[in-house]
Amino acid sequence: MTTSKLDSSSEVIGAPPLDASQFHHTPFFCEENVYLLCKQLCTSGVADAEGSDLFVVFISNDKKQVPLWHQKASQRADGVILWDYHVICIQIKKEGDSSPLVWDLDSSLSFPSPLASYVSETIRPSFQLFSDFQRFFRVVHAPIFLHSFASDRRHMKDSIGNWTAKPPAYEAIVAEDGTVHNLNEYIEISTADGTISIGLDSINSVYSQKLGVLVSESQLEEFFSLLS
């Protein structure tokens, strides 16, 4: 995960925010941070032991330019930054009528944040953007992701093999089938591949497909309301 230069132009009710420092975080390795976050949420009892209530969400587009607000890495007052891609976790609480929760270790918002608040403050769908900056969301069920994801971190090296950002100290993540790198499959997001309609087929796909389903920013909240 890297940034580009951008031209200048709520709390969860009833629960205090958790401290993001309790979770492992390596700057610019958001996919690995979310992988470890999902595992920790499962083992700590915050999520289902198998992660059935968790979804990993990759945010990107054709141009690899996605503006997000309230990001800690930003140097602007409004917290906006231009990522090539970003990864978050969304949790659906099975009990009660609680809103889906967004776990974003790079966000300055409450941790976790209600999905509606996160969309309003971080995605800002009401903010008029050029088409090159439209955000698309690859939603992957966490149990599938934890079994299938792999990264040897090659995307964080330059043309002569030097690191562009300091890598995590732990070993690279290898998929259960032995695959050593497939991050590119998750972050290759084409507008043409977006989900045309939200319905039973897309819900079935997110629970069965390795790469989940692709939804637009206008479909994200609707999609998770159907999963709830």
> Would you please indicate which residues are annotated as catalytic (active-site) residues?
30, 86, 104
Closest-CA residue to 151 (of 108, 192, 122, 180): 180
Residues pairing with 173 in the sheet = 151
Record the tokens describing residue 138, joined without a space.
């690859």
Q: Supply 177's token pair.
A: 């089938």
**CA-to-CA separations, 10 to 16, 150, 166, 215, in angstroms, rounded:** 11, 34, 32, 25
